[in-house]
Amino acid sequence: MSANTKPRNATASTPWGSAILLEELRLPQQAGEKRFSSLVQLLETKKGERLVRFAYATDGTARRGPVTLRARDLERLRVLLEKHPGLRETLRL
């Protein structure tokens, strides 16, 4: 399991404009031979609004598309959230 945190100067594009990437949790997954990570990102807009973005990554690059988590992945997510207090508080988990 991974508990990566991105530097505070990283930015992300959202429908509400540019946002600072405050925290990023990477949950490694595998389906058959395919390896990828689901991402949970805590973002903050210029106005101070917090956003949570779910994405998936292949080869370290975030991709758009649906994110699917198995029940056992959700339990791993809960464990990883212990290292990401901002995400845990925002998700209220």
CA–CA distance, 38 with 28 (Å, rounded to integer):
6
3-state helix, strand, coil in the chain (%, to 5): 20, 45, 35
Calculate the average pLDDT of the chain. Answer: 87
Using alpha carbons, list the distances in angstroms from residue 38 to 49, 54, 83. Answer: 23, 7, 16
Domain-embedded: residue 20: yes
Predicted model pTM: 0.79
- pLDDT at position 1, please? 45
pLDDT band at 4 (very low <50, low <70, confident <90, very high): low
In a domain, 1, yes or no: no
| pLDDT tens digits along 9-50 | 799 889 999 999 999 999 999 999 999 999 999 999 999 999
For residue 7, what pLDDT is reported?
53
Query: Structural domain tally of the chain?
Result: 1
Residue 3 within a domain = no
Domain assignment of residue 31, yes or no: yes
What is the domain range of residue 30? 11-91
